Structure 1
Amino acid sequence: MYYIVETQKSFDQASTDLELAVKRLGFGVLHIHDLGATLRSKGLAFEEQCRVFEVCNPGQAAKVMLIDMRLNMALPCRISVFTEKGQTKMGLIKPVHMLSALSDDLALVQIAKDVEEKTMQMVDEAR
């Protein structure tokens, strides 16, 4: 269900490298949520770092929504860079698993496989 890798890179370097890999592989970064900073800004003692990258390939997103518009709620894809006990990690929830739980449409499964391969490749390249 999850694809998570560890990296020896710093949190900031892994974040930069992920953003470059996303663009190199034909996706765009729609937004980056800095959840760690947000929690700290609310006065919470949150030690870890966490950035969630919303990434999208417009062609693939359009295909998904043409098949089942309700699946817009599962878009865009999210890839996280985070720390856990001092270790930098990157990961995602695999699109095939997620979309398979939401629909039985075989065309969606194929789209999800294509997107899953690309998003995992992004993580691997940024690692």
Structure 2
Amino acid sequence: MYYIVESDKPFEQASADLEVAVQAGGFGVLHVHDLGNTLRSKGFPFTEACRVFEVCNPGQASKVLGLDLRLNMALPCRISVYTDQGRTRIGLIPPSDLLEGLSKDPALLPIAREVETALIQMVDAAR
């Protein structure tokens, strides 16, 4: 249910490299949530770093929404860069797993797999 890779890069470098890989893969970064800083700013003792990148390919999103508008709640795709016990990791929930659980429309699976392949290539490039 998860695709996670470990990186030898520092957190900041892996984050920057992911942003470059997303753009090179034909997607855009819509927003980056810095969960680590947000939690710490609210007084929670969160010791790890964690950024969630919301990424989107408008053409693919349009296809998905054209088949099942309810899936707007599962978009955009998210890729996380985070640390776990000092190790940098990059991961995502594969779109095919996510969409299969949310819709039974068989036309969605090829789209989800295509997006998934692209996202995994981005994660691997940022690794």
Fold equivalence (TM over 0.5):
yes
1:123 corresponds to which residue? 123
Give the % identical residues. 66
Unaligned runs of 5+ in 1: none
1:81 and 2:81 matched: yes
Aligned residues: 127
2:104 corresponds to which residue? 104
TM-score by length of 2: 0.99
1:18 corresponds to which residue? 18
Q: 1:38 offset after TM fit, Å?
A: 0.1
**In structure 2, C-alpha distance between the alignment counterparts of 1:87 and 1:46, rounded to whole Å:** 15
Partner SS, residue 79 of structure 1: strand
The amino acid across from 2:98 in the alignment is M
Q: Which runs of 4+ in 1 moved over 4 A?
A: none
C-alpha RMSD over aligned residues? 0.4
Partner SS, residue 70 of structure 1: helix
1:32 corresponds to which residue? 32
Q: 1:107 offset after TM fit, Å?
A: 1.2
Q: 1:31 offset after TM fit, Å?
A: 0.0
Unaligned runs of 5+ in 2: none
What are the within-5 Å matches in structure 2 for residues 32-51 of structure 1? Answer: 32-51=32-51
**In structure 1, C-alpha distance between the alignment counterparts of 2:64 and 2:20, rounded to whole Å:** 25
Q: 1:105 offset after TM fit, Å?
A: 1.2
